[in-house]
Amino acid sequence: MGTSVAAQVHPASSGRRRLRRFLPIILGAVLLAGATTVAALPAANAATIDTAAYYQVVSRSSGKALQVSGAATTDGAAITQGTVASGATNQQFQFVDSGSGYYRLRARNSGKVVDVYQHSTVDGASVIQWSDNGGTNQQWQPVDTSGGYLKLVNRNSGKVLDVTGKSTADGAAIEQWSDNGGDNQQWALVRVTGSPSATVTPPSSYPNPGTVTGSTGVHDPSMVKTPAGGYIIVHTGANITMKTSTDRVAWQNAGSMFPGGASWTLSYTGNSNQLWAPDISYHNGRYYVYYAASTFGSNHSAIFLATSTTGASGSWTNQGLVIASASSDNFNAIDPNLVVDAQGRWWLSLGSFWTGIKLVQLDPSTGKRLNTSITGIAQRGGSTAIEAPFIFQHGAYYYLWVSFDLCCKGASSTYRIMVGRSTSVTGPYLDRNGTAMTAGGGTQVLAGHGSIHGPGHQAVISDTDGDILVYHYYADSGASFLGINRLGYDGAGWPFVY
């Protein structure tokens, strides 16, 4: 096709609109474990796709299930059909809301989404998996047909998901094709037994942190899920402290990012090895960590970038300075967070106290600043106590998470987690009441309660069981610990912790 799959570039969609939750789906389908056919299904109805659940997507013509070939976890792996298999996570897909009746189909085994190769609009174009970038070629609209089946229409091309040549063989390729009403273009959604549900009632009071064990003493944590399915946390500490887990519950120490020290930061830290607020993410086969070097109460601060292909202690390469602030500046260059928007653009939010939270654009090829522009996206009027920004996209919105009030005072800490949202990554971000976050707005999501003091410096990741809030809190002893909870969203799309 002239360009390798590994080299393809995905320009993402523009103009994403408010999500719609109600669409036709198939309920009540019965699959016999390991069977190659599906029992007779009732007529489709206008029920709700459960965006937290997993579904097997079963062809009407073959009775086989959509799957990631070979259970691959790499970009460009083929989407094929295979004999329905209970427990095969490469046959399980989560419908991630893209708004306006479209969804991305995220594979449970890889976390990647079903994608039309190179944004093609021609009949026969290959269907593969690719990292989720929100592109219209990754968005599919379920539309009712007859007999309790549906077709999946690609937003970019208008063509439908199709089994090549009406094949009934295992391994047959999946492609896109003009809608001709064929049985090989019709699919049943069969909910995977034991799937989580998006239907969650907000609790009447703040929940305690979920169960975590092992090495759980952290401050300013950030988490990433690895391609192999494990987890890495980085947090404030000597040369940045690392922890790992295979299940998001049991954690163990994993050394420091820079066991030999980070000499390039010492002029900002007063020769201390304590580096702050690292932000970890995974892109293009590499881990990226943005982190801060400063001293308490000063805005003589700098944010640096390091990268690694493995994420292991000692494997990190210093990529240098990203942005710095001095006493003459009205902002503080700490608390970085990288977000990649729906158009594939890279942005870094940052800031603590002074005039609040700022946003700068990055060059994706280097991870460094693209230009000298700096935009204010959140600020408090009566108090400068706002910090720890984290921007996370869910549905049609970018959610700006911040921490209000005071950190780092042990059990006397008054940190609390706030949020606002915008349809644009650059804002304006508004709270539930419509107050701009640049005018002190923010909707409270979590605050101290009982023996949980000052929860804050939050991060959010999307995992197989939904969106996850990661933060630190202080115990009665004054020690800081890891907090992890699941996030739900109410009928108006506002997040809550449970």
Residues sharing a CB contact under 8 Å with residue 117, sequence separation 6 or more, in sequence order: 1, 5, 8, 125, 126, 127, 128
State which of 40-44, 395-399, 435-439 shows the largest mean pLDDT: 435-439
Residue 109: CA count within 13 A, CB half-sphere? 20
User: pLDDT band at 199, cuts 50/70/90?
Assistant: low
Residues sharing a CB contact under 8 Å with residue 361, sequence separation 6 or more, in sequence order: 345, 346, 347, 348, 369, 370, 371, 373
Q: To the nearest 10°, the Cα dihedral for 359, 397, 110, 128?
A: -100
As a whole number, mean pLDDT of residues 180-197 equals 87
Say yes or no to pLDDT of 35 above 70.
no
Interior/surface letters 411-443, b for 16+ CB within 10 angstroms, e for the rest:
bebbbbbbbbbbeebebbbbbbeeebbbebbbb
**Alpha carbon distance 209, 484 (integer Å):** 6
Q: Of the listed 97, 115, 132, 220, which one is catalytic?
A: 220
**Alpha carbon distance 424, 396 (integer Å):** 9
- The pLDDT value recorded for residue 381 is 86
- The pLDDT value recorded for residue 358 is 98
As a whole number, mean pLDDT of residues 17-36 equals 33
Other Cβ atoms closer than 10 A to 209: 20
User: pLDDT band at 466, cuts 50/70/90?
Assistant: confident
Residues 308-366: pLDDT tens digits? 999 999 999 999 999 999 999 999 999 999 999 988 899 999 999 999 999 999 999 99
DSSP secondary structure string for all residues of 97-149 = EEETTEEEEEETTT--EEEEGGG--STT-BEEEE-----GGG-EEEEE-STT-
**Alpha carbon distance 109, 228 (integer Å):** 9
User: pLDDT band at 198, cuts 50/70/90?
Assistant: low
As a whole number, mean pLDDT of residues 414-423 equals 97
Say yes or no to pLDDT of 116 above 70.
yes
Mean pLDDT of the chain: 89
Q: How far apart are the first and last CA of the chain?
A: 48
- The pLDDT value recorded for residue 130 is 94
Residues 488-497: pLDDT tens digits? 988 888 999 9
How far are the Cα atoms of 17, 110, 290, 374 from residue 99, in angstroms, in the given order? 6, 23, 31, 30
- The pLDDT value recorded for residue 200 is 75
Nearest residue to 65 via CA among 205, 183, 163, 196: 163
Domains along the sequence of the chain with CATH: 5-191 (2.80.10.50), 213-497 (2.115.10.20)
- DSSP strand pairing (250-256 vs 213-214): parallel
- The pLDDT value recorded for residue 99 is 76
User: pLDDT band at 201, cuts 50/70/90?
Assistant: confident
**Alpha carbon distance 93, 286 (integer Å):** 25
Range with the poorest average pLDDT among 8-12, 119-123, 192-196, 371-375 = 8-12
Q: Of the listed 175, 387, 405, 431, which one is catalytic?
A: 387
- DSSP strand pairing (286-293 vs 274-283): antiparallel
Range with the poorest average pLDDT among 10-24, 41-55, 79-93 = 10-24
Percentage of the chain modeled with pLDDT above 90:
76
Which pTM does this prediction carry? 0.72
- Residue 175 among the catalytic residues: no
Pull the structure tokens for residue 422: 């915008």
Say yes or no to pLDDT of 24 above 80.
no
| More confident call, 378 vs 12 | 378
Nearest residue to 418 via CA among 400, 392, 398, 396: 400
Percentage of the chain modeled with pLDDT above 70:
90
Pull the structure tokens for residue 379: 């600020």
- The pLDDT value recorded for residue 289 is 98
E strands, 195-285, in order: 213-214, 222-225, 231-235, 237-238, 241-245, 250-256, 274-283
- Residue 387 among the catalytic residues: yes
**Alpha carbon distance 270, 273 (integer Å):** 9
| More confident call, 278 vs 55 | 278
Residues 208-239: pLDDT tens digits? 999 999 999 999 999 999 988 899 999 999 99
- The pLDDT value recorded for residue 287 is 97
**Residue 343, Cβ density class (10 Å: 0-12 exposed, 13-18 middle, ≥19 buried):** middle
Say yes or no to pLDDT of 267 above 70.
yes
